[in-house]
Amino acid sequence: MNEFPLTELAASFPLRSVLGAILFLTLIIWGLMTAALIFHWRRSVFKKRVMVLAETSYLVGSLIIIAAATAFLAAA
């Protein structure tokens, strides 16, 4: 029995392609949200507090997704 079934799962080509596509799209959206967050910070943080909070929480969440997908793809 294999001790590392996750490595075999990560090595499967379709899964790697899907995860790579998700990672790529997440990086694009992350860049756009970062630009929007910087734009809102420059305009008025106090008027757009809810939007800034939402964008910041999205950026933190997407960083976790990016780190997990990158680690999973690197495992293969």
pLDDT at 12: 61
In single-letter form, the type of residue at position 41 comes to: W
Using DSSP's 3-state secondary structure scheme, residue 73 falls into: helix
3-state secondary structure of 56: helix
pTM of the predicted structure, to 2 decimals: 0.49
- Residues whose CB falls within 8 Å of the CB of residue 76, separated by 6 or more in sequence, listed in order: 7, 10, 11, 16
Q: pLDDT for 14-67, tens place per residue?
A: 767 777 787 788 788 878 877 877 776 666 655 567 777 777 787 788 788 778
Domain locations in the chain?
A: 26-76
